[in-house]
Amino acid sequence: MESKRSLSIRLVAGLLFSLIALALYGGYTVIQLHSLRRLETDIIDRNRRDSLLLLRVQNDLNTLGLGMRDMLDSRDGYPITAWRSQFQRIRTDLEDAFARESHVAPTLRTPDQTRYLSFSVSQFWDALDRVFDLAAHNESEARAQVQLSLQARQAALSTAVSRFLVQNNESEEQAVEQTRQIHAQVERNLYIFLAAMLVALAAVSIYVIQYNRRIFDRVTNLSMRRSELAQQLITMQETTFRSISRELHDDFGQILTAVGAMLQRAGKLAGTNLDALRDELREIHVVVQSALDKVRSLSQALHPVMLEEVGFESAVDTYIPVFEKRTNITVRYTKAGGNWDIPHDPSIHLYRVLQEALNNVARHSGSKVAEVRLTRTPGSVILEIEDHGSGFHDPGRAGLGLISMRERAELAGGNIEFLSGAGGGALVRLSIPVSTEAAHVASGS
């Protein structure tokens, strides 16, 4: 009980450790994935959208630069005010682009950079409006302002936008590198976690295997001790039965035999006028003979002396009619093979299994017919007892009788099976190795 409790505690502790490790690794992985998602959403995707809008702004600024260059080209003959509508369309597109860009601007951009860009754009449009107003009165001065002021402001704006694009590219490269590092870290941690789990699993498996091996060794030792105790018990039982049987056979049998003989002589000496006395003496003789038969039957049950006197085959031939008379069960007895000179130890186990199996038929099967089949082969003796009754209800939960039969089969080095018969009843099949040489030795002895 203590070892079982200790094993349970260790297994539960190992399970808890594994669950905690799994939870920690899972939490760490979720945090890493959240960081990865933030990088992809807040930096990479946002930078890409912002870069597209900045490219749109840069394109509009380039268009402004081309427009101012054409504005300064006096060969076309157009006044500066003629460019007002074109610049107004560019201004509308730029304001829309800047408005969109302000919503997706990277978080790394400082507020000073944002204010500088907004202030520069506002100054550019204010200067452009003044140029158009000035062009209505003084064309040459307005062209000078475009060349001196507006083009410089447009170049400054283009430079600022280009700087933002460079920052976005650098930020995106850093985010990609961080993403790669996170992927590598997650992958590395996964390998470490799997390796740790494999090591833990191997350690637990080795521990369980060693523990089970110790348990199996203990069970094997207990089984060996149980078998030894069973052998000693059976040997002691046979010795006791043999002693009691001899006492009954030798002492009580002789006494009852003597009593019967004396009563017979008394009956003969009583004379012809004592019929009543003869009847009484005859009745006493019947009672004494019945007692003698019962004593002999009990002696045969306790220890079959006939096995030692006339051998196994004759003992079985004698026992079966006695069993039929006692139980009113018909036994169909068949033999096959020859040389029934079986050594004493195998024969006693065969005889006891036959007794136990037939007693089970009488007590449990409810059948009025049983079959006993003996087969002698050159290397073994096969005993089969079959009935046509209710059969074995649960052979796995054997009673003392079945356990005793199993132990006797092991003692004799044989094999016993508890099967279902052809007619639905029970079939007990015992096979014991008995060599021809051993039989000859037994016969010679």
Q: Percent of the chain scored above 70 by pLDDT?
A: 73
How confident is the model at residue 74, as a pLDDT? 63
How confident is the model at residue 163, as a pLDDT? 87
Tokens 């006339």, located at residue: 310
CB 304 within 8 A of CB 344: no
> b/e per residue, 328-365, with b = 16+ CB within 10 A?
ebebeeeeeeeebbbbebbbbbbbbbbbbbbebbbebb
Distance CA 444, CA 96 (A): 124
How confident is the model at residue 280, as a pLDDT? 64
- Reported as a single tens digit per residue, the pLDDT across 412-425 is 889 998 888 777 78
How confident is the model at residue 270, as a pLDDT? 60
Q: Does residue 224 surpass a pLDDT of 80?
A: no
Residue scoring higher pLDDT (246 or 373): 373
Q: Does residue 442 surpass a pLDDT of 50?
A: no
Tokens 């157009």, located at residue: 78
- Among the ranges 32-36, 63-67, 176-180, 219-223, which has the highest mean pLDDT value? 63-67
Q: Which two tokens stand for residue 111?
A: 């507020």
How confident is the model at residue 101, as a pLDDT? 83
CB 182 within 8 A of CB 36: yes
Pairing of strands 380-387, 415-420: unpaired
pLDDT category, 373, cuts 50, 70, 90? very high
* Average pLDDT estimate for 2-26: 68
How confident is the model at residue 344, as a pLDDT? 80
Q: Does residue 250 surpass a pLDDT of 50?
A: yes
How confident is the model at residue 439, as a pLDDT? 47
* Residue 79: CB atoms within 10 Å: 13
pLDDT category, 267, cuts 50, 70, 90? low
> b/e per residue, 372-383, with b = 16+ CB within 10 A?
bbbebeeebbbb
pLDDT category, 236, cuts 50, 70, 90? low
Distance CA 262, CA 260 (A): 5
> b/e per residue, 258-268, with b = 16+ CB within 10 A?
ebbeebeeebe
CB 367 within 8 A of CB 361: yes
pLDDT category, 410, cuts 50, 70, 90? confident
Pairing of strands 369-376, 330-336: parallel
Sign of the dihedral through C-alpha 7, 10, 14, 15: positive
Contacts of 204 (CB under 8 A, 6+ apart): 11, 14
How confident is the model at residue 430, as a pLDDT? 93
Distance CA 23, CA 33 (A): 15
* Average pLDDT estimate for 416-440: 78
The model's pTM: 0.43
* Residue 241: CB atoms within 10 Å: 17
Among 254, 349, 335, 356, smallest CA distance to 307 is for 349
Distance CA 99, CA 105 (A): 10
Identity of the amino acid at 315: A
Among 227, 179, 255, 203, smallest CA distance to 411 is for 227
* Average pLDDT estimate for 381-401: 75
Q: Percent of the chain scored above 90 by pLDDT?
A: 5
In the predicted model, what is the mean pLDDT of the chain? 77
pLDDT category, 398, cuts 50, 70, 90? low
Among 52, 50, 57, 47, smallest CA distance to 121 is for 57
Using DSSP's 3-state secondary structure scheme, residue 331 falls into strand
Distance CA 350, CA 344 (A): 10
How confident is the model at residue 272, as a pLDDT? 54
Contacts of 186 (CB under 8 A, 6+ apart): 29, 32, 33
Residue scoring higher pLDDT (435 or 367): 367
Q: Please state which CATH number belongs to domain 307-444.
A: 3.30.565.10
- Reported as a single tens digit per residue, the pLDDT across 305-343 is 667 777 888 888 888 888 888 888 899 999 888 777 788
Residue scoring higher pLDDT (360 or 445): 360
Domain segments of the chain as ranges: 2-208, 307-444
* Average pLDDT estimate for 158-171: 84
How confident is the model at residue 372, as a pLDDT? 92
Identity of the amino acid at 122: S
Using DSSP's 3-state secondary structure scheme, residue 427 falls into strand
- Reported as a single tens digit per residue, the pLDDT across 59-87 is 988 988 888 888 777 666 678 888 888 88
Lowest mean pLDDT across 106-115, 116-125, 140-149:
106-115
Lowest mean pLDDT across 26-30, 297-301, 310-314:
297-301
